[in-house]
C-alpha cells in the first residue's frame, strides 16, 4: 500500500484529535458510557442484520428486541470461522473503496481480515490515546512500537516523535532502532521485548506497554528488571479493536465500554456472573461498516464487579487468557520463537520438531532441548532445527532457533 499523502495524513490527524476529545468526554461519566453504549449497539445491530454472517445466522432471532447490552444474549454467538470463511464484501455495509483492510496478527491461531473506514480507524487511535493518558504515558516522550500483523517484517518507520518497526524485522535493524530512537516509551508483545532485551543493554523507560499475548508474572518480572518499568498491559483484537487496558494499579483491565460490549459465557453459551471465568464474546460498537456482533474471540476471561480504586469509571475485567488446551508461539527478529503458558499446560512436544522435551526438574529454571525439522503450527513454512523448552516458576516457553520464514500460529497441547 502506498504511503498516505500529506493531505490525507493531516485529515486523519484531525479525525483522531476529534475522536479523542469525544472519547475523553465520554469517560467522565459512567451514566454517559451506558447511554452511549446502548445507542451505538442499536445502530450496530441495525447495520449487521443486512450483511453476512448475521443475515443468515439471525434468521428467526428477536433482533428487534435488542435495545441494550443486556439483550445481546438473545442473539446467536458468531465464531471466528464464520468471519474467516466470509468474503470481505459480504460483510460490508459500505462500498469496498471506503474501507481499509487489516490483517490480524494470527496470535489466536487464525489469520483474519477485518475492515474499517478512516473515521473508524481514527476512533481506534483515539481509544489507544485515551488509554495512554489514563495509564500516565508521557505524551512528549520518544515512542517505539514493535508491531505484529501486516507490518511484522516492516523496517523502521518514523512518525514525528513516534516510530514503528516490525516484530519479525531483521534483528540488527531492531537493535539499531532502539539506539537511533532512544525511546522512553516502548509498546510491543512482551516475549519479543524480552528477547530483544537479551540482545542489548535495554534503555531505562518511562513507560512499557505490552499487548498481543498473555503477560505472565515471570515475564512481567523479566521485563521490569530489564527495562526499569513495570509493564502496563493492553488487550484487544484486530476484528473488535481496543478492548481493555491496565491502569497504574494493575489490578484489572478497564473495558472501553463506549466502544465494546464484553460478555463472558459458559459452555452452554449463556452469560456467567462476574468473577466466573468463561469464554469472551465481544461486540464492537465502533464499527458499522463491517459489524462484529457477539464474536467469540477464542480467549478466556471474567468480568470483575465494582470499581477500580484508581477512580476511573470504566468497568473491569480480569486478565484475559488463552484457551486452556493451547499455547501460543511467537517469533522475534533474532530468529527465535517464544511463547509463555502455564507450566502444567505447556506441550512436551516442540511445535517445530517431532522430538519430545522434558518438563521435569525442580530448579527455578530448567532447559530441555530437542532437534529435528518440521512445519510450524498451521502448516506455515517456518522451519526449525533446534528448539528449547524453558521452565521458570509456574511458566514455560519453547524457544526455536534458526528459522527463516514466518507465520504466527498456535500449537495444540501434546
The three cell numbers locating residue 18: 476529534
- In this structure, the answer to whether residues 255 and 109 fall within a common structural domain is yes
pLDDT tier, 293 (very low <50, low <70, confident <90, very high otherwise): very high
pLDDT tier, 9 (very low <50, low <70, confident <90, very high otherwise): low
Report the relative pairing of strands 316-317 and 253-255 from DSSP bridges.
antiparallel
Close Cβ partners of 175 (under 8 Å, ≥ 6 residues apart):
196, 199, 200
* 414 pLDDT higher than 50: no
The three cell numbers locating residue 386: 533446534
Question: Of 269, 299, 318, at which residue does a domain stop?
Answer: 318
Q: Is residue 168 part of a domain?
A: no
User: In whole angstroms, what is the distance from residue 84 CA to residue 79 CA?
Assistant: 9
Q: Over range 289-308, report the average pLDDT.
A: 92
Q: Is the pTM of this model over 0.85?
A: no
Q: Over range 266-274, report the average pLDDT.
A: 91
Instruction: Please classify residue 413 by burial: count the beta carbons closer than 10 Å to its beta carbon, then call 0-12 exposed, 13-18 middle and 19+ buried.
Output: middle
Question: Of 318, 337, 370, at which residue does a domain stop?
Answer: 318
- In this structure, the answer to whether residues 304 and 349 fall within a common structural domain is no
Asked if 319 contacts 303 with a C-beta cutoff of 8 angstroms, the reply is no
Q: Over range 190-216, report the average pLDDT.
A: 89
Q: Is residue 230 part of a domain?
A: no
Q: Over range 4-26, report the average pLDDT.
A: 63
pLDDT tier, 391 (very low <50, low <70, confident <90, very high otherwise): very low
As for how many domains the chain has, the answer is 2
CA geometry: angle at 175 spanning 173 and 176, to 5°? 60
* 217 pLDDT higher than 80: yes
Report the range of poorest mean pLDDT among 66-75, 147-156, 189-198, 373-382. 373-382
Q: What DSSP string runs through 344-364?
A: GGS-SB-SS-SSB------SS
Question: Of 289, 318, 347, at which residue does a domain stop?
Answer: 318
Percent of residues, the chain, with pLDDT higher than 70: 70
- In this structure, the answer to whether residues 339 and 305 fall within a common structural domain is no
pLDDT tier, 6 (very low <50, low <70, confident <90, very high otherwise): very low
Predicted confidence at residue 335, as pLDDT, reads: 32
Of 345, 350, 344, nearest in space to 398 by CA: 350
Predicted confidence at residue 337, as pLDDT, reads: 35
pLDDT tier, 398 (very low <50, low <70, confident <90, very high otherwise): low
pLDDT tier, 409 (very low <50, low <70, confident <90, very high otherwise): very low
Predicted confidence at residue 146, as pLDDT, reads: 93
- In this structure, the answer to whether residues 313 and 336 fall within a common structural domain is no
Q: Is residue 300 part of a domain?
A: yes
Predicted confidence at residue 106, as pLDDT, reads: 52
- In this structure, the answer to whether residues 116 and 17 fall within a common structural domain is yes
pLDDT tier, 397 (very low <50, low <70, confident <90, very high otherwise): low
Asked if 89 contacts 52 with a C-beta cutoff of 8 angstroms, the reply is no
**Domain region containing 392:** 326-412
* 176 pLDDT higher than 90: yes
- Which of residues 34 and 92 earns the better pLDDT score? 92
Amino acid at each position: 500500500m502506498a504511503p498516505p499523502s500529506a493531505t490525507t495524513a493531516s485529515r486523519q490527524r484531525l479525525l483522531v484529535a476529534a475522536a479523542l476529545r469525544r472519547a475523553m468526554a465520554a469517560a467522565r461519566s459512567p451514566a454517559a458510557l451506558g447511554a452511549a453504549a446502548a445507542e451505538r449497539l442499536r445502530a450496530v445491530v441495525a447495520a449487521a442484520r443486512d450483511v453476512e454472517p448475521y443475515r443468515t445466522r439471525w434468521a428467526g432471532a428477536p433482533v428487534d428486541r435488542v435495545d441494550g447490552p443486556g439483550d445481546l444474549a438473545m442473539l446467536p454467538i458468531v465464531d471466528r470461522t464464520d468471519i474467516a470463511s466470509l468474503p470481505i464484501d459480504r460483510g460490508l455495509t459500505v462500498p469496498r473503496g471506503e474501507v481499509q483492510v487489516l490483517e490480524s496478527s494470527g496470535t489466536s491461531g487464525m489469520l483474519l481480515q477485518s475492515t474499517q473506514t478512516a473515521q473508524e480507524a481514527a476512533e481506534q487511535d483515539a481509544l489507544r490515546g485515551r488509554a495512554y493518558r489514563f495509564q500516565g504515558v508521557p505524551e512528549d516522550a520518544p515512542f517505539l512500537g514493535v508491531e505484529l500483523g501486516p507490518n511484522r517484517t516492516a523496517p523502521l518507520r518514523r512518525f514525528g516523535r513516534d516510530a514503528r518497526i516490525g516484530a519479525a524485522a531483521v534483528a540488527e535493524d531492531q537493535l539499531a532502532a532502539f539506539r537511533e530512537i532512544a525511546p522512553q516509551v516502548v509498546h510491543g508483545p512482551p516475549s519479543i521485548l524480552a528477547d530483544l532485551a537479551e540482545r542489548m543493554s535495554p534503555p531505562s523507560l518511562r513507560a512499557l506497554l505490552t499487548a498481543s499475548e498473555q503477560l505472565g508474572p515471570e515475564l512481567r518480572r523479566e521485563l521490569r528488571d530489564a527495562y526499569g518499568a513495570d509493564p502496563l498491559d493492553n488487550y484487544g483484537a484486530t476484528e473488535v479493536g481496543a478492548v481493555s487496558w491496565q491502569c497504574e494499579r494493575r489490578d484489572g483491565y478497564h473495558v472501553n465500554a463506549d466502544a465494546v460490549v464484553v460478555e463472558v459465557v459458559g459452555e452452554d453459551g449463556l452469560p456467567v456472573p462476574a468473577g466466573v471465568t468463561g469464554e469472551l464474546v465481544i461486540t464492537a460498537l465502533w464499527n458499522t461498516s463491517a459489524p462484529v456482533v457477539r464474536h467469540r474471540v477464542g480467549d478466556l476471561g471474567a468480568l470483575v464487579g465494582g470499581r477500580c480504586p484508581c477512580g476511573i469509571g470504566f468497568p473491569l475485567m480480569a486478565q484475559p487468557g488463552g484457551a486452556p488446551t493451547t499455547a501460543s508461539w511467537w517469533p522475534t527478529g533474532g530468529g527465535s520463537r517464544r511463547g509463555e503458558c502455564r507450566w502444567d499446560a505447556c506441550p512436551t512436544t516442540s511445535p517445530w520438531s517431532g522430538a519430545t522435551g522434558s518438563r521435569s526438574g525442580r530448579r527455578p529454571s530448567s532447559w530441555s532441548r530437542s532437534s529435528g525439522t518440521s512445519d510450524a503450527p498451521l502448516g506455515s513454512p517456518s522451519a526449525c532445527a533446534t528448539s528449547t523448552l524453558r521452565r521458570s516458576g509456574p511458566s514455560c516457553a519453547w524457544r526455536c532457533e534458526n528459522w527463516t520464514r514466518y507465520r504466527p500460529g498456535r500449537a495444540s497441547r501434546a
